[in-house]
Amino acid sequence: MKTENQRAWFFVLPVLLLVAFNALIPIMTVVNYSVQETFGNNLFFWQGLDWFEQILRSDRFRASLGRQFLFTFLILIIEVPLGIIIALSMPKKGLWVPVCLVTMALPMLIPWNVVGAMWNIFTLPDIGLLGYFLNTVLGINYDMTQDPIAAWITIVTMDVWHWTSLVVLLSYAGLVSIPDAYYQAAKIDGASPWKVFRYIQLPKMKTVLTIAILLRFMDSFNIYTEPFVLTGGGPGNSTTLLSIDLVKIALGQFDLGPAAAMSLIYFAITLLVSWLFYTLMTKDDDK
Q: Which of residues 97-136 bind other proteins (CB under 8 A)?
A: 97-98, 100-114, 117-119, 121-122, 126-130, 132, 136
Question: Is residue 181 at the binding interface for other proteins, with CB under 8 A as the rule?
Answer: no
Q: How far is the CB of 45 from other proteins (least distance, A)?
A: 19
HSE-CB at 245 with a 13 A cutoff on CA atoms is 25
Q: How far is CA 217 from CA 29, 71, 94, 246, 281, in A?
A: 26, 10, 33, 19, 13
Pick the binder of other proteins from 44, 69, 161, 182 (CB under 8 A): 161
Pick the binder of other proteins from 76, 86, 151, 196 (CB under 8 A): 86
Among the candidate windows 39-47, 85-93, 143-151, 195-203, which touches other proteins by CB under 8 A?
A: 85-93
Q: How far is CA 280 from CA 177, 207, 272, 283, in A?
A: 24, 12, 12, 5
Q: How far is CA 128 from CA 132, 136, 163, in A?
A: 6, 11, 22
Question: Is residue 148 at the binding interface for other proteins, with CB under 8 A as the rule?
Answer: no
What would the x/- binding string for other proteins be over residues 223 to 262, using CB under 8 A? -xx---x------------xx--xx--xx----x--x---
Pick the binder of other proteins from 48, 66, 81, 91 (CB under 8 A): 91
Dihedral sign for Cα atoms in the order 205, 207, 209, 211:
negative
Q: What is the largest CA-CA distance in the chain?
A: 78
Among the candidate windows 37-45, 54-62, 146-154, 174-182, which touches other proteins by CB under 8 A?
A: 174-182
Which residue number, 15 or 43, has a Cβ lying nearer to other proteins?
Answer: 15
> CA-to-CA distance for 119 and 113, rounded, in angstroms?
10
Q: How far is the CB of 144 from other proteins (least distance, A)?
A: 14
Number of residues interacting with other proteins: please give it, by CB under 8 A. Answer: 93
Name which of 88, 80, 285, 97 is nearest 197 in CA terms.
Answer: 88
The conformation of residue 2, written as its DSSP 8-state character, comes to P
Pick the binder of other proteins from 71, 142, 152, 221 (CB under 8 A): 221
Question: Is residue 38 at the binding interface for other proteins, with CB under 8 A as the rule?
Answer: no
